[in-house]
Amino acid sequence: MTEKKKSLNFLEQIIEEDLSKGLDRSKLRFRFPPEPNGYLHIGHAASICLNFGLGQTYNAPVNLRFDDTNPTKEEQEYVDAIKNDIHWLGFKWAEELYSSDYFQQLYDWAILLIKKGKAYVDDQTSAQIAEQKGTPTKDGINSPFRDRSIEENLALFEKMKNGEFDEGSHVLRAKISMSAINMLMRDPIIYRVLKKSHHRTGNDWNIYPMYDWTHGESDYIEQISHSICTLEFKHHRELYNWFLKQVYDGENLKPKQREFARRNLSYTVMSKRKLLQLVEEGLVKGWGDPRMPTISGLRRRGYTPKSIRDFSETAGIAKRDNVTDIALLEFHIKNELNKTAPRVMAVLNPVKLVITNYPEGKEEILIAENNPEDENAGTREVPFSREIYIEREDFREQANKKFFRLKLDKEVRLKNAYIIKANSVVKDNKGEIIEIHCTYDKDSKSGSGSEASKRKVKGTIHWVSIKNALKAEVRLYDRLFTDEAPDSHKDKDFKEFINPDSLKIIKNAFVEPSLKTAKIGDRFQFQRLGYFNVDNDSTFDKLVFNRTVPLRDSWAKMEQKK
Ligand code: ATP
Ligand code: MG
């Protein structure tokens, strides 16, 4: 066990108990079992961190198993993306495995079930089967095909396999009980006819095994000691155990299914089906759109693997469904970047400011700290000159006492530079300010140690020197949904809550010249604005930045006002 760990989560407690009851420590084995029908999201990260975390804690192998039994939805693109994301999160799997590798074994075991009189081929349609299911308070009805002979079942199942039946015409069902309290035990379907090409097995199979039959048996084949899944599978546990019992050899380890609560996050949706809709309907730019809760989206947005792991750790493992505030995820990236991201100055909504008593043509190189939170981060050079850009929002002709930025006849400090005082403005014929004229106190240079430099002024604002500034595109991302739980409304589709302002593109932002050498993926704090990273679209001639997260949380403020 790692020393730092505070208390065991309930799954670790279960494992500890199993160990104390005699389970051999070397038998511990876990798996992460994604279906390759979409990209991984932050919910999957909870499961990844949990399973691989257990692997680290107990020094046990963790398999990556693709649960690829539904060829209609699965693709190689997803397999590749999933592997890439898990790597990026910082985890290593013991073996890369596929449920489809077990198709033959699963088929052989299905024949074993038939031979034991525990499975039968049903010729009814799925609608008929559903009709006979009954309700939790009412027994189901036996299928008219339930008592077929073993020989007949074997022959029919073979025909299913050989493609002699149409899709939907026949299924193989387990013969359990049509009056079981657990509805899933009412003769569940094990195989269906599906004449689709599979991304790995091609056209080898005309039948495909169902989830319940596949999952437990795959766990058994791999000798997974603890098969951890999410709560919606709690009712499946009985069936999981029933299936295992049928194939258990009495010697090997019998896997144990245990459940934990799915990770839900506020202001987003987390089902692959819904995320796919956003992609297919063009509401976002692909699975890796920086607004998506996918690992690839978060990566492009500027999130780090550590921030996602830390978030997963803090949000913890719960027994009951709950919603985690997205602010917690944002906290973790801000917390990390505060310590690691170099500070730079960027102006997103520029207005020109002229320092009238600063010599024309003069240029000074000021020294600025890269990161006050990190004494090893060093310093950089920032050019200063007579004409600079500041944010339009940082100036008002008149303002009350609470406005600590620049106003006429008052002083502010220019970050890393001098104290200035605003004297007058120049406006265009529409009345919009196009220039602010100021004077500077030449003795007030930051860090010079002079009396004037120590003078306290209320506000500090950021700026860039016009003649040295680099033009950049800045993409301001915000939450993708305006509602805390967009998919919780019975009468409304989740897409009705899409935030129309989730992306604002600023084409004419200006950044300090030190960013000339910034590379794709580099992360910065734009002082007073937030954390930004260099987007994949960035080129040497045209820098493109994404806002990962603002410094202050405008949403929290809006919520308070409600
Ligand atoms: P989705 O509903 O988003 O499509 P899924 O459960 O169908 O998710 P799988 O690929 O089957 O996706 O999931 C792989 C593993 O990740 C499973 O063990 C599943 O329980 C777990 N998982 C999926 N979503 C979450 C979540 N939101 N929180 C925690 N674990 C999750
Ligand atoms: Mg699934």
Q: Is residue 267 a part of any domain in this protein?
A: no
Q: Residue written as tokens 């949380």?
A: 553
| 520 and 399 within one domain | no
Q: Which of residues 462, 488, 519 is at a domain's end? A: 462
- Distance in Å, CA 356 to ligand 1 centroid: 62
Ligand 1 nearest atom to the CA of residue 262, by list position: 28
What is the model's pLDDT at position 321?
Answer: 92
Please list, in sequence order, all residues whose beta carbon lies within 8 angstroms of the beta carbon of residue 182, skipping any fewer than 6 positions away.
Answer: 235, 238, 239
Helix residue ranges per DSSP H, 101-230: 103-115, 126-131, 150-162, 211-222
Q: Is residue 2 a part of any domain in this protein?
A: no
End-to-end CA distance of the chain: 46
Q: Is residue 266 a part of any domain in this protein?
A: no
| 452 and 432 within one domain | yes
Ordered DSSP codes for 407-465: EBT-EEEETTS-EEEEEEEEE-TTS-EEEEEEEEETT--TTS--HHHH---S-EE--EE
| 242 and 134 within one domain | yes
Classify residue 159 as exposed, middle or buried by CB count within 10 Å of its CB (0-12, 13-18, 19+). Answer: middle
**Per-residue tokens: 390:** 């500041």
| 398 and 355 within one domain | yes
Of these residues, 35, 238, 313, 397, which one is catalytic?
Answer: 35
- Distance in Å, CA 527 to ligand 1 centroid: 38
What is the model's pLDDT at position 150?
Answer: 98
pLDDT digit string (tens) for 323-350?
A: 999 999 999 999 999 999 999 999 999 9
What is the model's pLDDT at position 411?
Answer: 96
Domain total of the chain? 3
Whether ligand 1 lies within 6 angstroms of the CB of 262 is answered as yes
Closest CA to 472 of 424, 416, 522: 522
| 199 and 108 within one domain | yes
Residue nearest to atom 18 of ligand 1 (CA): 229
- Distance in Å, CA 259 to ligand 2 centroid: 14
Of these residues, 29, 173, 256, 262, which one is catalytic?
Answer: 262
Q: Is the dihedral of CA 137, 141, 147, 148 positive or negative?
A: negative
- Distance in Å, CA 469 to ligand 2 centroid: 50
- The CATH number covering residue 438 comes to 2.40.240.10
Q: Which of residues 417, 436, 462 is at a domain's end? A: 462
pLDDT digit string (tens) for 144-196?
A: 999 999 999 999 999 999 999 999 999 999 999 999 999 999 999 999 999 99
Phi/psi of residue 288, each to 5°? -95, 15
Q: Is residue 513 a part of any domain in this protein?
A: yes
Whether ligand 1 lies within 6 angstroms of the CB of 229 is answered as yes
Residue 475 pLDDT greater than 50, yes or no: yes
Whether ligand 1 lies within 6 angstroms of the CB of 33 is answered as yes
- pTM, two decimal places: 0.94
Please list, in sequence order, all residues whose beta carbon lies within 8 angstroms of the beta carbon of residue 542, skipping any fewer than 6 positions away.
Answer: 471, 472, 473
| 119 and 51 within one domain | yes
pLDDT digit string (tens) for 116-146?
A: 999 999 999 999 999 999 999 999 999 999 9
Residue 2 pLDDT greater than 50, yes or no: no
Q: What is the mean pLDDT of residues 292-305?
A: 98
Whether ligand 1 lies within 6 angstroms of the CB of 236 is answered as no
Q: What is the mean pLDDT of residues 376-381?
A: 96
Residue 227 pLDDT greater than 90, yes or no: yes
Question: Residue 552: pLDDT band by 50, 70, 90 thresholds?
Answer: confident
Q: Which of residues 413, 441, 462 is at a domain's end? A: 462
Using CA atoms, how far apart are residues 439 and 210, in angstroms rounded to an integer? 76
Q: What is the mean pLDDT of residues 286-297?
A: 98
H or E, element range at 390: strand 387-391
Using CA atoms, how far apart are residues 8 and 129, in angstroms rounded to an integer? 44
Whether ligand 1 lies within 6 angstroms of the CB of 173 is answered as no
Which ligand is the nearest neighbour of the Cα of 38? 1
For residue 287, give its domain range: 272-342+473-561
Is 272 annotated in the active site? yes
